[in-house]
């Protein structure tokens, strides 16, 4: 990775848009609840923009246990962010009947990223929001108790709470469903 100054020294601006190519690279998909869009270990990874419904990404560990990495309701981007060349770390599946737009990782990097940075502040805001979400998540995981993580989640994503089963919330928080149940009971004691 180059430094800021090195970047400047080498910078030459020339950019010819390829709108047709861009348009062709986007596929629209209707996905039924339960459908799996992407497998852990797969090599062709995509980005999914959720127009309607909700997607979920998760891993399955050696003991066969599911751990939810992220929920993506309407307006969110769903993607496996593991390094480009590596196979996908995540499963992605569909929690509600959904409509999504799909772009391959390769197309996104080559075509969308440059375009988005210039013309689509919302797109970069989307990436920044993703980063902010992950940062907060890490901070909660290393510093907060189960109940604090739960309360933070409720405040931040009250919508998601209504739409997914408790056991998935527990999985997202990094605890068992039983522990979440216990912890919820304790709040009103």
Partner DNA sequence: GTTAGACGTTAACCTAAATTAAGATGTATA
Partner DNA sequence: TATACATCTTAATTTAGGTTAACGTCTAAC
* CA 152 – CA 74 distance, rounded (Å): 20
Helix 146-156, helix 177-186: angle, nearest 10: 80
Binds 176, which of a second copy, DNA, none (CB < 5 to 8 A, cut-off by type)? DNA
* CA 177 – CA 182 distance, rounded (Å): 9
Tell me: does residue 145 bind a second copy (CB under 8 A). Answer: no
Cβ pair 67, 58 in contact under 8 A: yes
20: left (phi over 0), alpha (psi -120 to 50) or beta: alpha
Pick from 119, 122, 145, 154 the residue near DNA by CB under 7 A.
145
Pick from 147, 152, 157, 163 the residue near DNA by CB under 7 A.
147
Between residue 93 and residue 112, which ones bind a second copy under the rule CB under 8 A? Answer: 101, 103, 109, 112
Query: What character string, x for contact with a second copy (CB under 8 A) and - otherwise, covers 4-33?
Result: xx-xx-xxxx-xxx-x--xx--x-x-----
Closest CA to 40 of 80, 89, 5: 89
Tell me: does residue 155 bind a second copy (CB under 8 A). Answer: no
Closer Cβ to a second copy, 97 or 101, answer by number: 101
Closest CA to 96 of 71, 121, 129: 71
* CA 188 – CA 186 distance, rounded (Å): 5
* CA 130 – CA 111 distance, rounded (Å): 20
Pick from 30, 44, 119, 181 the residue near a second copy by CB under 8 A.
119
Between residue 168 and residue 187, which ones bind DNA under the rule CB under 7 A? Answer: 174-185
Tell me: does residue 146 bind DNA (CB under 7 A). Answer: yes
Binds 51, which of DNA, a second copy, none (CB < 5 to 8 A, cut-off by type)? a second copy
Tell me: does residue 64 bind a second copy (CB under 8 A). Answer: no
Closest separation between CB of residue 149 and DNA, Å?
A: 8
List residues binding DNA (CB under 7 A): 145-147, 165-167, 174-185
């Amino acid at each position: 990775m180059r430094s800021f100054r090195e970047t400047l020294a080498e910078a030459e601006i020339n950019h010819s848009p390829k709108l047709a190519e861009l348009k062709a690279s986007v596929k629209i998909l209707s996905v039924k609840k339960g459908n799996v869009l992407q497998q852990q270990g797969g090599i062709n990874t995509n980005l999914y923009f959720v127009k309607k419904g909700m997607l979920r990404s998760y891993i399955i560990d050696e003991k066969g246990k599911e751990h939810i990495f992220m929920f993506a309701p309407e307006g969110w981007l769903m993607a496996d962010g593991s390094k480009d060349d590596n196979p996908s770390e995540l499963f992605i599946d569909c929690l509600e009947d959904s409509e999504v737009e799909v772009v391959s990782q390769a197309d996104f990097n080559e075509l969308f990223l440059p375009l988005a940075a210039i013309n689509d502040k919302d797109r970069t805001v989307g990436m920044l929001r993703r980063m902010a979400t992950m940062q907060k998540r890490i901070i909660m995981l290393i510093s907060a108790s189960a109940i604090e993580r739960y309360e933070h989640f409720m405040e931040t994503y009250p919508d998601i709470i209504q739409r997914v089963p408790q056991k998935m919330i527990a999985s997202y928080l990094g605890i068992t469903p039983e522990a979440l149940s216990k912890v919820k009971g304790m709040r009103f004691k």
